[in-house]
Amino acid sequence: MMLAPASLAQPARGLAALARPRGILFGAAINTGRLADAAYARQMATEPQLLVPEWEGKWAALQPEEGRFDFAPLGAVLEFAARNAQQVRGHALIWHQAMPDWLAPALAAGPARARALLAAHLDAVLSRTAPAIRDWDVVNEAVANAGGPFTENTPAVGDLRDTPWLRALGPGYVDLAFQLARERDRTLRLTYNDYGVEGDTPFAEEKRQRVLRLLRRMVAARVPVDALGIQAHLIMDEPFRPEPFAAFLREVRGLGLAILLTELDLREAAVVPPDLAARDALVAARVEAVVGTALAEGCRTVLTWGLSDRDSWLATDKDVARKDGGIHRGLPLDAEGRRKPMWQALARVFETGATAPPR
């Protein structure tokens, strides 16, 4: 009898394997720039069943010059996923960041030009990524913040953030993007994705109301939106209480929309306990409370934004990194790739947290 070569051995039981029997899909953001690191690649092959490109699906990556598409990085995500029998979701067809330099001036040439650019981008991207990608973040972060911890981008029209897309096409750009995506592929799940809706703060409550107003209007107007993606970039210094978040999720589900947690990670408090175990316990408890609430309200897809603290934007992006020179411990694996209490917390909620009927 021949033994299977080591490369065909089953991976260790990851979070996705624990989640799957409960009807929960666990995923993570992948950064193809890190795949040459064998430990990183192993983590990405082991824990998630679903991958989302951290940057490879954004305009700056896909269309660096007008009409010149570069599918190599996104293609690398699709190949990695195919090799590991994983699914891929898309992120993001419209976002006011990660725009190539040429795009904003081109959009400013007028609505006809802006619409043609959007249509051409969707033509190229959706045809290249079908049938692998079944779910896209069609519009990311269109709703403006109400001050609070984020000061950028006050509303321009209604609740919508001031962006080159809004300036070019008016507030109808959100509906237009969903309609054009649906026209190109009727089988896609089309998701509206945003952040800042989890906390028990006036800021989060206002953001929830703004997102709800947008979704209610879209559903009433029969705009083809299927799901709300909640980024869940959690902030420990913001209080959390399940009830306001749960009430929001019930409203969203009442509109007939699915709910996904799309970018889960956690920014620790400005001042953290000196003891690592105590620190990690705080992270785990908050994650368990938020994800547990979402699962209890019918969310069935949870993605973390990366897997290990070392590879996180929370370590490298100065707007969100720790100010004290340390690194946030807000992902399931520590900087050495070891599972930590946040991993155990996710494992626990995946095994026990799903009580509402799936969608």
Binding site for ligand XIL (CB under 6 A): 54-55, 140, 231, 263, 313, 317
N-to-C CA span, the chain = 44
Q: Which residues contact 17 (CB under 8 A, 6 or more apart)?
A: none
Closest contact distance (angstroms) between CB of 301 and ligand XIL is: 15
Amino acid (one-letter) located at 88:
V
Q: Among residues 313 and 350, whose Cβ is nearest to ligand XIL?
A: 313
C-alpha closest to that of 263 among 47, 96, 28, 15: 28
Q: Are 211 and 219 in contact (CB under 8 A)?
A: no
Q: Among residues 317 and 324, whose Cβ is nearest to ligand XIL?
A: 317
Specify the 3-state DSSP secondary structure of 242: helix
Alpha-carbon span 190 to 178, nearest angstrom? 7
**Residue whose C-beta lies closest to ligand XIL:** 313
Closest contact distance (angstroms) between CB of 54 and ligand XIL is: 5
Q: Among residues 141 and 334, whose Cβ is nearest to ligand XIL?
A: 141
Closest contact distance (angstroms) between CB of 29 and ligand XIL is: 7
Q: Among residues 139 and 347, whose Cβ is nearest to ligand XIL?
A: 139
Q: Among residues 31 and 46, whose Cβ is nearest to ligand XIL?
A: 31
Closest contact distance (angstroms) between CB of 220 and ligand XIL is: 26
Q: Among residues 312 and 353, whose Cβ is nearest to ligand XIL?
A: 312
Q: Among residues 26 and 55, whose Cβ is nearest to ligand XIL?
A: 55
Alpha-carbon span 139 to 211, nearest angstrom? 12
Give start and end residues of each alpha helix (H) in 84-186: 103-107, 111-129, 164-169, 173-184
Closest contact distance (angstroms) between CB of 111 and ligand XIL is: 26
Q: Which residues contact 312 (CB under 8 A, 6 or more apart)?
A: 265, 305, 306, 327, 328, 330, 331
Q: Among residues 233 and 279, whose Cβ is nearest to ligand XIL?
A: 233
Q: Which residues contact 29 (CB under 8 A, 6 or more apart)?
A: 51, 52, 53, 54, 91, 263, 303, 304, 305, 306
* Residue that has been written with the tokens 């950064």 in this structure: 31
Closest contact distance (angstroms) between CB of 317 and ligand XIL is: 5
Closest contact distance (angstroms) between CB of 306 and ligand XIL is: 7
Closest contact distance (angstroms) between CB of 139 and ligand XIL is: 11
Q: Among residues 222 and 318, whose Cβ is nearest to ligand XIL?
A: 318
Closest contact distance (angstroms) between CB of 76 and ligand XIL is: 16
User: What are the b/e assignments for 305-331, b being 16+ CB within 10 Å?
Assistant: bbbbbbbbbbbeeeebbbeeeebbbbb
CA angle 182, 63, 158 (to 5 degrees): 55
Is the link from the previous residue into 171 a cis peptide, with omega within 30 of 0? no
Give start and end residues of each alpha helix (H) in 163-241: 164-169, 173-184, 202-220
